[in-house]
């Protein structure tokens, strides 16, 4: 019996030693390769609610009738010769609209920069024959002058580091003739890895 116990203990010791003797460790290197990745955040629709004050005062004094009215018999009618000058008022064919915080970009690029471009894809918003026209759209970002195409530093993927930008555009209200919603105008923003 003692011999059997000794044999079992010896065998267990050999198995334990054999297991340790056959252990091996290998190291595997792990790497990640990223292409240019640009993520664009944008709003899919914007509505401008235009107040009457955009078009000037409700009552505009065009001055005294010159010359003085000359009445003729029998109707006693005369011509006040009013002219619609809106002196100092807005030029409704060239108003400026802006949309702050209209887009954002994040990502990584080989050049370290992201190019952001805006273009009008449908210039007019309509309501029947009444139209509003978008002109000369621009994008801007903190520290970057407004232009049709701008370059911003690629900030990485973190949402907290995203570059947030604005949109500005000319608005021509000179052919608006109808009350109500005018729809159909559209601009597009494209973000790509800058060359």
The DSSP H or E segment spanning 41 is strand 37-42
Q: How far is CA 176 from the centre of its chain?
A: 26
Q: Provide the greatest CA pair distance for the chain.
A: 150
The architecture (CATH level 2) of 91-195 comes to Sandwich (2.60)
Quote the CA–CA distance of 134 and 170 in Å, as a whole number: 6
pLDDT at 80: 67
The sheet carrying 113-122 orders its strands as: 149-153, 113-122, 186-193
* Burial (CB count within 10 angstroms: exposed 0-12, middle 13-18, buried 19+), residue 167: buried
Find the mean pLDDT for residues 150-160.
97
Give the burial string for 67-98 (b: 16+ CB within 10 Å, else e): eeeeeeeeeeeeeeeeeeeeeeeeebeebebe
pLDDT at 126: 96
Residue 20 — left, alpha, or beta (φ > 0 → left; ψ -120 to 50 → alpha)? alpha
pTM, two decimals, is 0.78
Question: Per-domain residue ranges for the chain?
Answer: 91-195
4-53: per-residue pLDDT in tens? 555 555 555 555 555 567 899 999 989 889 999 999 999 999 999 998 88
Quote the CA–CA distance of 159 and 85 in Å, as a whole number: 50
* Burial (CB count within 10 angstroms: exposed 0-12, middle 13-18, buried 19+), residue 1: exposed
pLDDT at 1: 55
Quote the CA–CA distance of 117 and 80 in Å, as a whole number: 52
Q: Of 9-18, 80-89, 163-172, which has the strongest mean pLDDT?
A: 163-172
Task: Determine contact, residues 40/114, Cβ cutoff 8 Å.
Answer: no
């Amino acid at each position: 019996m003692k011999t059997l116990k000794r044999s079992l203990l010896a065998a267990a010791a050999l198995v334990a030693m054999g297991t340790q003797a056959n252990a091996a460790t290998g190291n595997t290197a792990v790497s990640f390769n990223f292409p240019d990745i640009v993520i664009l955040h944008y709003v899919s629709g914007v509505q401008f609610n235009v107040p009457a004050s955009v078009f000037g005062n409700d009552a505009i004094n065009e001055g005294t009738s010159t010359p003085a009215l000359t009445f003729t018999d029998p109707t006693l009618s005369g011509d006040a010769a009013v002219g619609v000058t809106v002196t100092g008022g807005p030029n409704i064919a060239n108003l400026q609209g802006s949309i702050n915080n209209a887009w954002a970009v994040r990502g990584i690029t080989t050049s370290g920069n992201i190019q952001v471009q805006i273009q009008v894809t449908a210039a007019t918003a309509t309501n029947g024959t009444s139209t509003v026209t978008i002109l000369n759209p621009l994008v801007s970002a903190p520290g970057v002058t407004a232009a049709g195409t701008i370059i911003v530093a690629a900030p990485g993927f973190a949402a907290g580091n995203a570059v947030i930008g604005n949109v500005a555009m000319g608005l021509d209200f000179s052919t608006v003739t109808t009350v109500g919603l005018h729809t159909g105008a559209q601009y597009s923003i494209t973000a790509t890895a800058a060359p």
